[in-house]
Chain A
Amino acid sequence: MSRTRTPVVDGWFADDGDGFRLLGTRCAACSSVFFPREDAHCRNPRCPGGDLEEVPLSRHGRVWSYTDSRYRPPSPYVTDPELPWEPYALIAVELESERMVVLGQAAPGVTVADLTVGMEVEVVAGVLHEDAETIWTTWHWRPAGVRA
């Protein structure tokens, strides 16, 4: 039986012909960008509010900071308690054209020892966890130019 690939959150990223991209929204009036997406109303208090249009975020950014999770996070993070805990890195990435910082897990195999503040990273498709029916997908940050 083939399992379905389901995004962990609907509408936050897409993997179409153009490659994997994070999806935010942009205010048509003031051009503020929102991630996670804001679909109701622009949050810029100086903006009267315009239509919010879906927009892909920059593929590349620079490491603002990073850390890791040496201990198993609690629910609702999903882990298999039968398996030993494998730490993973978290990277906060500064996107130049959006002028914002977006947090994400690092791609598997990337550890804090591989990272420095200011390093260029790219967004790639990733798997958060899998169960019998579903592969739950997410976004990962990976040092630019590194092949999985």
Chain B
Amino acid sequence: MTGEVAVLGAGMHPWGKWGRSFVEYGAAAARAALADAGLEWRDIGSVVGADTVRGGYPGYVAGATFAKALGWQGARVASVYAACASGAQAVNTARAQILSGLADVVLVVGADAAPKGFFRPAGGDRPDDPDWLRFRVLGATNPTYFGLYARRRMAVRGDTVEDFAQVKVKNSALGALNPNARYRKRVTAEEVAASAVVADPLRLLDICATSDGGAALVLSSMEFARRHGAGRPVRIRAVSTVTPRYPNTVLDLPDIATDSAVAAEPVSETFRASIARAAYEEAGLGPEDLSLAEVYDLSTALELQWYEDLGLCGQGEGAKLLREGATALGGQIPVNVSGGLASFGEAVPAQAIAQVCELTWQLRQEAGERQVAGARVGITANQGLFGHGSAVIAVR
């Protein structure tokens, strides 16, 4: 088992469409996390930035940009990019520094200012980039991949569009309780059904928006936490950053085709399931130990897939688990009590960090109206473009 690191502070800049620089959101989140930790910025020995791709360079190279905005103080810096999994990579980089003794206390920051409309690849004529090719050759936006998964679930698992709508109903009711969420209005199944189809069978209210936002964490060694007087901090016990195994037979963005299983038998466990399993193994815990889960609900249908891939239920039983109310607040295993991407919209490099912020507040019993009673163990799960797994397990 890997050693633990303490979460001393968590902070966010509310999600929205604010029209300002990502630097401002990240710095605001960082200051909030530092205040939550009871630490000064000058006490921080290392800063890790999860990069946005806005602004030409990867987020003007994010770690140093945040350090400059907070005021240069000489801290060690690292910057990481793994698309939607950037935040987990940043958490893992900080953890590795702490566990190896390179740093006692590390600030992790991610922020984004998302453009309007569909995400699109970087400009120019770049036929060697699979992400560019899927747009050029197929016009295959992210929602079309979500639509493919949703239709496949309907055909193979028997899910219905009404099931998908109920995910939105659940998550919007929780987002309404979260002051950091962008969408804070409850949504009805009728409103989902009345929204425009974007990528059949998914409608606008089945698909997450793209948002501005920032999230930050202050992580430290257990020894530093004790010296600092944090008697019983939330601890990060596992960070999964696995890649798929060949042949990867589930079509995933940005790919135009899967691997061929002609020469090598595919492992029975999908990539998404392997992300969770690696986290469980590292933590020495299993799905039965969880109090809550924060999963990457890029679409309503994908949330149901995560239930199965996290082992919250058997394969094909995701919709049943939802219908039983098990994943609602007060249920047996509440999922996305933050409101999820359905209520936040995606601020790419901030999102995996925001998931850990929610776990932190939940495990400290500080989540107010959306508190999961007696929460002790939480998992986050997410997946970054091109095969970046991401899951974090936190305990208290």
Contacts and interface: CB of A to CB of B under 8 A. Distances in A.
A99 B261 contact: yes
A65 B263 contact: no
B263 A27 contact: yes
A112 B259 contact: no
Nearest to A43: B246
Contacts of B138: 77, 90, 103-105
A19 B316 CA distance: 40
Contacts of B136: 8, 76-78
Contacts of A32: 247, 259-260, 262-264
Interface string B110-137: 0000000110110101010010111111
Contact of A67 (B151, B246, B258, B260): B151
A103 B258 CA distance: 9
Interface string B136-165: 111111001001111110011000000000
A26 to B, nearest CB: 9
Interface residues of B, number: 48
A131 to B, nearest CB: 14
B264 A44 contact: yes
Interface string A66-90: 1111110111111100000000111
Q: Which secondary structure dominates where chain A touches chain B?
A: loop
B257 A117 contact: no
Contacts of B134: 103
Interface string A44-76: 111100000000000000001111111101111
Interface of A: 8-9, 27, 30-36, 43-47, 64-71, 73-79, 88-90, 92, 97-105, 112, 116-118, 128, 138
7 contacts: A44-B264, A45-B246, A67-B201, A68-B199, A71-B141, A76-B135, A104-B138
Interface of B: 117-118, 120-121, 123, 125, 127, 130, 132-141, 144, 147-152, 155-156, 196-202, 246-247, 249, 251, 255-264
